[in-house]
Chain A
């Protein structure tokens, strides 16, 4: 108590006295009836946060006064300004028409209270010390208390466990948590992490008000190798730790190095350079460049320059001790104010990437006709393949298959006729197979195996044979090894089909299989099918998923209900889409349907609905229309489409078709009108062509032609042209280089 009084009275002496004993607890003088009492020490019960902040302000000023700093100090002014700003914001929000305490008024009150010698100010703070080993954390603690509180050693790490040092500086109770030094970044990350986790446990009960992050001013190189440490601290403690952090630069008296011009840098430039560097990396670690971290320069050496009062001064003449105290108090006060006014939560450090998906895009994906892949391509409408050509294939007269030599002897016309005949037979054969497949599906609705549609058919057997598949072909490489044995596998009749996703631009000397593509089809019950199609890749940090799962219920009369969930990653967020569709076959030729979908992205929801109708005229003509609407983020998009398809004569076994489609999308009075045409047809016996074109009213579009052939392979000669061109292009660049 006496000690305290002395400190207060000799406020200008700047001598710090420390006590090992605990200070007496709060001694608020409740008997005082001064009109300003309401601004005095915490009257917890009735004061609103704003008045508490005002009290805090006064307290802060008093403390500043005591440690001998003028209220005009830059840091002090800043703190006061911020407190004012904060309380104004709060007051504005809560519509409290109460004039806040102006700065000058607060100062006046503070001075008055100080002069009156009114009681001590109850103020204490807790400091956590972090930093690489050997930067002088313990030494600084000793300097602060001016006493050998922690063991130091210039050469070997001296602190090997977390300890709390309690002391009193100018009447303020200071608790310091000293921690063992962290290892350099390229060294033992594991130990660092464990250490930090230990620290985190240590401070869980009573979090520190201030964190001091230590760095040696003279030992920061250009490359700054401690970035991983900063990152680790951010990982372990969360980025909010940097709110209350003061960057402490030790060894501040060391002479600045030579600048580029050969002369030593000025001290200010030197300090600025170094602190900027550290700041920059901290910003990078928390990926936010707005946070400004106060910097404190410290020199602990015994030979450090001292001023007349015996205080250590820096080369620029600053007394670092008082600066330290001001910063600590300021940080603590601001922290308190923050928690009082509950600003902490509303301020987010890492900005979320808020790139929202475009509404028209979502809408068009909603309108997209979902292919019911789960039924393996057997669409309901195909069911009524007219039965008139039931056994056409079987009624065909037998044909003599010619040998190659015989075929060569034929005339051109004969050859064509022969090939046409074979082609005709093949079409009929495929139709027959298709029908058989349909029939067998109808008979045993849950097939034991997922059959692929093609020229070949499976017979289903439940044999548990273990069959090793032949080695997977991996993309070519110039390496001497070929790790195809990694992908060796035996076939089992499970319903999952997993395939790798090839990243052609993956890592050098690596195959580049970088993700998994999964497909699963399941016939749950007679009319209930489920399917899952997705692609996942998960690495140490990156995670990407794109999955669609659908459950489909087919009613015997042809009505279908389906619902599904799609998940997709976009940046770091996941987009969830839940959708439900229903289709009713109200007439033989007409199917009406509708769907609803809800999309969640980040915290935003989009809701969409669609209506569709398809009319089939005969077996070969199909007209589909749909219209939909998507709403979210205060915007609404409308859209619709019309699609007409004419199928080839041999549908479904041959997929010749012509498709005309037009779509309209509108958002915010902007209208996008698009049209497209697509045609698939066969040219000759072994050649298929697909031509598609689309154009919209923004005059953007695309034309694409795709040809695949098993007869006229000469078309591949285009590639030769490209390669020759590429070779010729390389020549000049080589000559130039």
Chain B
């Protein structure tokens, strides 16, 4: 049975609902029998430190892994939750009522006079049976019936002391005179017994009562048939409840509504009193309908249900069950995982009223936990978390699992927590209501690490000595979430001599200040200031094809950068700021060089190459303003990127610095990811084939030092070439197209790219393009395959006509 597992935990939930509840309460709980996927959302995002890699240059960082899952347990919790929802004292509301008796079974037995019948048609749950059932229900401890084989035994005739094994369960429709075939029929989800189980007489009787009271049947009876092997074959013969046909359908949201009280109906009421009573019930129900809120259920589903009603003629229990399934399916498909059909009302009128509890959020609780899972006081200000929550998760909205996931993602992107759980919990005080619980485990706020190293070498007398008292090593520290507002300072210093650092000193200091406009202001601006240095190889001073021996030029940058980033959406941003930097160009021996060099045939170097700096001294200082506008509405459709991304970048020299550089450097990048097929967006569905079109234009005006010239060629410029292999220029145009075809879990792609200097190479001082014999333009094409974030591609350099295989991390576009 699919919900065996749920049942066990359900048992734990039942006492919550109060053991005094009548059997109806149990019967309703089984309506959770259709396992609800992803009902309970819990995510554990752990930030585990990756074991330090074995390779010297490996990029180590804290990696955040996120895993979503909706466990099987989830639906159990959902079941428990629904138990609450569907255990109100049954609302009254039926006039007519021919048969009347039989507990709560209005609506049914007379089968037809008057309107406003109200029925509840949920499958019974014999929770008791289950509880007593030894694990799995198939235990060996059962008794042989001890009767002759192949005789029909009434339930009442069974012995109360024996434990019967039920080997078979059949449903027999008395009205049609046929047995119901196929175990997938909706009747089978009503009955909590299952073939192979062992039950006592009491349990069976209870089951019969449940069946009788569930509203599905006008009449139901259980009979046993003895089998030669000592087991019983159970037959439930029944007459299905039916009501008069309807031609209207209405769906109402009854969540959070106070439950109407059941008025007792005296058995000895006069007909008039009865009529009065029913009329009153009907009126109450009208009022209930009027007070209820409209449902989220859209018109197409309404129409679909109407169609079902029309086709079926008389409204039968089975039909109602089908309607329930359809309505619930829509809700669950849309992510309203807590939505549940609790009732059908107004039966025996022209209209079928479907009562739905949609799962309205009444409360949002944010909790902090310590390492051991104890609730504790958090350091983070709640507003920081709150502003990451989507609107749909606020009280007053219907709980949607997608919103929950969104919240999870957003909170995770704060990088403040090691563990995040978003958990919808039924509100015990307010039936049909949901409390969204967010549990957070905070990361350590501050940390520092110092690692030092001394070398030991033989000293003067041959004794080992510490080479120098000065240690080499790394100092790093971070202070996150300052004041609980997610401000952070990070820094690190590395040198082979920490006490007297030489050229190899590398440092980084960064301060991030989010919510510049206040944490309650929806405007999301972040201030960032950083101070760092870097030493990198210049792609301007590299050779063209076949020219290997170009002495490298290192660009040392040290400086300060401050900017403000305004996030419009998660991906679209506008940032503007100021940069002050000092650039030093160095040659292989790390001494300052002023010009690019070329190896002479005799072996020496010719130093007549293009100047490396603007000032000509090998050291430039400058300050400039920069801005970046990114409009990015790309998204993943089943794993494929679809959308548009436009980036405009600007660097504006301010005339401050060596030789008063005044320049303007601008770049525009346009990328389109066009899906070539409409696909349904769902997990496990294939992604669409995508055509990527990409254009990049860059231009420069004014004093442009060579290290800031655009370079052509490279993995993000024209693939198939080395970095800068095609040239260095002041204007640049790159065009690319890529076609991605999904294959299994990933995609393969073919691409063609072209890059051109637009004849601007000669305007770069010293024409490094020509000096190092580069073409100034070039095309490439190739094919590749994507494996996760890794690209493996074969790209053909069109200038030389040779191809090569490349491995790359990340996307080209």
- Which residues of chain A have a CB within 8 Å of any CB of chain B? 185-186, 188-190, 193-194, 222-225, 227-228, 231-232, 276-277, 280-281, 284, 373, 399, 401, 403-404, 422, 425-426, 429, 449, 452-471, 473, 475-483, 485-494, 496, 498-510, 512-513, 515-518, 533, 535-541, 546, 686, 695, 698-710, 712-716, 718-719, 721-723, 725-726, 729, 737
- Judge if B271 is at the interface, Cβ distance under 8 Å: no
Taking a contact as CB atoms under 8 Å apart, the answer to whether B809 and A498 are in contact is yes
Please indicate the chain A residues that have their CB under 8 angstroms from the CB of B598 in the complex: 223
Please indicate the chain B residues that have their CB under 8 angstroms from the CB of A280 in the complex: 601-602
In the docked arrangement, what's the CA distance between A716 and B507, Å?
13
Q: A189-B801, A457-B44, A715-B450 are in contact. Are A710 and B811 (CB under 8 A)?
A: no
Give the nearest-CB partner of B628 in chain A.
A480
Taking a contact as CB atoms under 8 Å apart, the answer to whether A456 and B463 are in contact is no
Taking a contact as CB atoms under 8 Å apart, the answer to whether A461 and B69 are in contact is yes
Taking a contact as CB atoms under 8 Å apart, the answer to whether B788 and A485 are in contact is no
Taking a contact as CB atoms under 8 Å apart, the answer to whether B505 and A726 are in contact is yes
What are 14 A-B contacts with C-beta separation under 8 Å? A227-B547, A456-B441, A467-B67, A470-B64, A478-B557, A486-B810, A488-B811, A500-B810, A501-B57, A504-B534, A539-B806, A701-B464, A716-B450, A718-B450
Q: A456-B46, A466-B638 are in contact. Are A709 and B449 (CB under 8 A)?
A: yes
CB distance from A735 to the nearest CB of B (A): 13
CB distance from B762 to the nearest CB of A (A): 13
In the docked arrangement, what's the CA distance between A278 and B145, Å?
107
Taking a contact as CB atoms under 8 Å apart, the answer to whether A704 and B536 are in contact is no
Partner of A499 from B59, B453, B457, B479 at Cβ < 8 Å? B59
Which residue, B505, B636, B639, B807, has most C-beta atoms of chain A within 10 A? B807
Taking a contact as CB atoms under 8 Å apart, the answer to whether A718 and B799 are in contact is no
Please indicate the chain B residues that have their CB under 8 angstroms from the CB of A686 in the complex: 444
Give the nearest-CB partner of B537 in chain A.
A507
Give the nearest-CB partner of A376 in chain B.
B51
Please indicate the chain B residues that have their CB under 8 angstroms from the CB of A429 in the complex: 371-372
CB distance from A582 to the nearest CB of B (A): 24
Please indicate the chain A residues that have their CB under 8 angstroms from the CB of B34 in the complex: none
Please indicate the chain A residues that have their CB under 8 angstroms from the CB of B55 in the complex: 501, 517, 535, 546
Which residue, A227, A467, A491, has most C-beta atoms of chain B within 10 A? A467
Stretch at the interface among B199-207, B260-268, B319-327, B373-381: B373-381
Taking a contact as CB atoms under 8 Å apart, the answer to whether B447 and A708 are in contact is yes
Q: A461-B68, A716-B491, A718-B498 are in contact. Are A403 and B377 (CB under 8 A)?
A: yes
Partner of A478 from B50, B581, B813 at Cβ < 8 Å? B581
Please indicate the chain B residues that have their CB under 8 angstroms from the CB of A722 in the complex: 475, 493, 495, 498-499, 501, 505, 507
Interface flags, B627-665, vs A, CB<8A=1, else 0: 110001010101101000101011100000000000000
Taking a contact as CB atoms under 8 Å apart, the answer to whether B545 and A228 are in contact is yes
In the docked arrangement, what's the CA distance between A423 and B473, Å?
30
Partner of A185 from B447, B499, B557, B773 at Cβ < 8 Å? B773
Please indicate the chain B residues that have their CB under 8 angstroms from the CB of A231 in the complex: 546
Q: A480-B626, A516-B790 are in contact. Are A467 and B409 (CB under 8 A)?
A: yes
Taking a contact as CB atoms under 8 Å apart, the answer to whether B418 and A456 are in contact is yes
Which residue, B376, B449, B506, has most C-beta atoms of chain A within 10 A? B449
CB distance from B688 to the nearest CB of A (A): 14
Q: A401-B370, A705-B451 are in contact. Are A466 and B639 (CB under 8 A)?
A: yes
Taking a contact as CB atoms under 8 Å apart, the answer to whether A703 and B464 are in contact is no
Taking a contact as CB atoms under 8 Å apart, the answer to whether B457 and A461 are in contact is no
Taking a contact as CB atoms under 8 Å apart, the answer to whether A487 and B723 are in contact is no
- Judge if B164 is at the interface, Cβ distance under 8 Å: no
Stretch at the interface among B83-91, B189-197, B331-339, B714-722: B714-722
- Judge if B703 is at the interface, Cβ distance under 8 Å: no
Taking a contact as CB atoms under 8 Å apart, the answer to whether B501 and A726 are in contact is yes
Taking a contact as CB atoms under 8 Å apart, the answer to whether A536 and B638 are in contact is no
Shortest Cβ-Cβ A-B pairs, 8 listed: A461-B69, A228-B546, A502-B59, A716-B477, A456-B46, A701-B456, A470-B413, A706-B451
- Judge if B296 is at the interface, Cβ distance under 8 Å: no
CB distance from B42 to the nearest CB of A (A): 8
- Judge if B152 is at the interface, Cβ distance under 8 Å: no
- Judge if B571 is at the interface, Cβ distance under 8 Å: yes
Q: What count of chain B residues pass the 8 Å CB interface test?
A: 159
Q: A461-B69, A478-B557, A718-B498 are in contact. Are A501 and B46 (CB under 8 A)?
A: no
Q: A190-B801, A500-B809, A719-B491 are in contact. Are A401 and B375 (CB under 8 A)?
A: yes
In the docked arrangement, what's the CA distance between A222 and B581, Å?
38
Taking a contact as CB atoms under 8 Å apart, the answer to whether A503 and B57 are in contact is yes
Partner of B44 from A458, A466, A723 at Cβ < 8 Å? A458
In the docked arrangement, what's the CA distance between A501 and B807, Å?
12
- Judge if B532 is at the interface, Cβ distance under 8 Å: yes
Partner of A709 from B447, B571, B626, B812 at Cβ < 8 Å? B447
Taking a contact as CB atoms under 8 Å apart, the answer to whether A452 and B65 are in contact is yes
Please indicate the chain B residues that have their CB under 8 angstroms from the CB of A453 in the complex: 48
CB distance from A498 to the nearest CB of B (A): 5
In the docked arrangement, what's the CA distance between A286 and B807, Å?
28
Please indicate the chain A residues that have their CB under 8 angstroms from the CB of B1 in the complex: none
In the docked arrangement, what's the CA distance between A719 and B449, Å?
11
In the docked arrangement, what's the CA distance between A498 and B38, Å?
28
In the docked arrangement, what's the CA distance between A671 and B164, Å?
82
Please indicate the chain A residues that have their CB under 8 angstroms from the CB of B42 in the complex: 459
Please indicate the chain A residues that have their CB under 8 angstroms from the CB of B789 in the complex: 487, 489, 498, 500
Give the nearest-CB partner of A701 in chain B.
B456
In the docked arrangement, what's the CA distance between A7 and B36, Å?
104
Partner of B813 from A465, A486, A507 at Cβ < 8 Å? A486
Partner of B601 from A189, A224, A482 at Cβ < 8 Å? A224
Partner of A713 from B454, B479, B722, B790 at Cβ < 8 Å? B479
- Judge if B530 is at the interface, Cβ distance under 8 Å: yes
- Judge if B124 is at the interface, Cβ distance under 8 Å: no
Give the nearest-CB partner of B532 in chain A.
A476
Taking a contact as CB atoms under 8 Å apart, the answer to whether A476 and B449 are in contact is no
Please indicate the chain A residues that have their CB under 8 angstroms from the CB of B468 in the complex: none
Taking a contact as CB atoms under 8 Å apart, the answer to whether B561 and A476 are in contact is yes
In the docked arrangement, what's the CA distance between A504 and B56, Å?
12
- Judge if B392 is at the interface, Cβ distance under 8 Å: no
- Judge if B71 is at the interface, Cβ distance under 8 Å: yes
Please indicate the chain A residues that have their CB under 8 angstroms from the CB of B804 in the complex: 539-541
Please indicate the chain B residues that have their CB under 8 angstroms from the CB of A425 in the complex: 372
In the docked arrangement, what's the CA distance between A513 and B602, Å?
37
Q: A498-B789, A716-B491 are in contact. Are A695 and B456 (CB under 8 A)?
A: yes
Partner of A708 from B449, B507, B636 at Cβ < 8 Å? B449
Q: A538-B806, A700-B458 are in contact. Are A190 and B46 (CB under 8 A)?
A: no
Interface flags, B53-83, vs A, CB<8A=1, else 0: 1110111010111111111000000000000
Taking a contact as CB atoms under 8 Å apart, the answer to whether B451 and A194 are in contact is no
CB distance from B692 to the nearest CB of A (A): 13
- Judge if B412 is at the interface, Cβ distance under 8 Å: yes
Please indicate the chain A residues that have their CB under 8 angstroms from the CB of B69 in the complex: 459-463, 465
Q: A478-B557, A508-B707 are in contact. Are A716 and B475 (CB under 8 A)?
A: yes
In the docked arrangement, what's the CA distance between A695 and B454, Å?
12
Which residue, B547, B788, B810, B813, has most C-beta atoms of chain A within 10 A? B810
Please indicate the chain B residues that have their CB under 8 angstroms from the CB of A533 in the complex: 54
Taking a contact as CB atoms under 8 Å apart, the answer to whether A704 and B451 are in contact is yes
Taking a contact as CB atoms under 8 Å apart, the answer to whether A539 and B722 are in contact is yes
Interface residues of B in 771-801 (CB under 8 A from A): 773-775, 787-790, 797-801
CB distance from A652 to the nearest CB of B (A): 15
In the docked arrangement, what's the CA distance between A490 and B687, Å?
13
Q: A463-B683, A695-B456 are in contact. Are A193 and B418 (CB under 8 A)?
A: no
Partner of A464 from B602, B684, B714 at Cβ < 8 Å? B684
In the docked arrangement, what's the CA distance between A210 and B638, Å?
62
In the docked arrangement, what's the CA distance between A223 and B550, Å?
13
Please indicate the chain A residues that have their CB under 8 angstroms from the CB of B38 in the complex: 463
For the complex with contacts A470-B413, A713-B447, 15 further pairs of A-B residues with Cβ separation under 8 Å are: A194-B801, A399-B374, A422-B370, A465-B405, A483-B716, A488-B811, A490-B636, A491-B66, A496-B787, A496-B788, A510-B716, A510-B723, A516-B809, A517-B58, A538-B805
Which residue, B419, B639, B716, B773, has most C-beta atoms of chain A within 10 A? B773
